[in-house]
Amino acid sequence: MPHITVQLWPGKSDQQKTKLAEEITENVMNVLDYGEEAVSVTFEEVSPEDWAEQVYKPNILDHPENVYKKPGYNPFE
């Protein structure tokens, strides 16, 4: 605990994902005061054509109370 899922468009390299997972882990450890053994990070690739329905609507639009950093665009506009 905690487990972080990063949803993103396909195309990022394993090296980029590994670096991001390391940075996320370091920040979780610093901000939330957990040890490295408590943090896990996964990546879920979602195609651009599926983004609005699979990510934006269910995770952002339908649950604004859970969003602490809002995106700068709305794919439904």
Q: Along the 77 residues of the chain, how does pLDDT read in single tens digits?
A: 999 999 999 999 999 999 999 999 999 999 999 999 999 999 999 999 999 999 999 999 999 999 999 999 888 88
Phi then psi dihedrals of residue 9, to 5 deg: -70, 150
- In the prediction, which pLDDT does 76 show? 85
Instruction: Provide the pLDDT for residue 73.
Output: 85
- pTM here is 0.91
pLDDT of res. 17: 98
pLDDT value for 39: 98
Q: Which residues are catalytic?
A: 2
Domains observed in the chain: 1-45 (3.30.429.10), 48-77 (no CATH)
Query: Can you tell me the distance from the alpha carbon of 58 to that of 56, in angstroms, rounded to the nearest whole number?
Result: 6
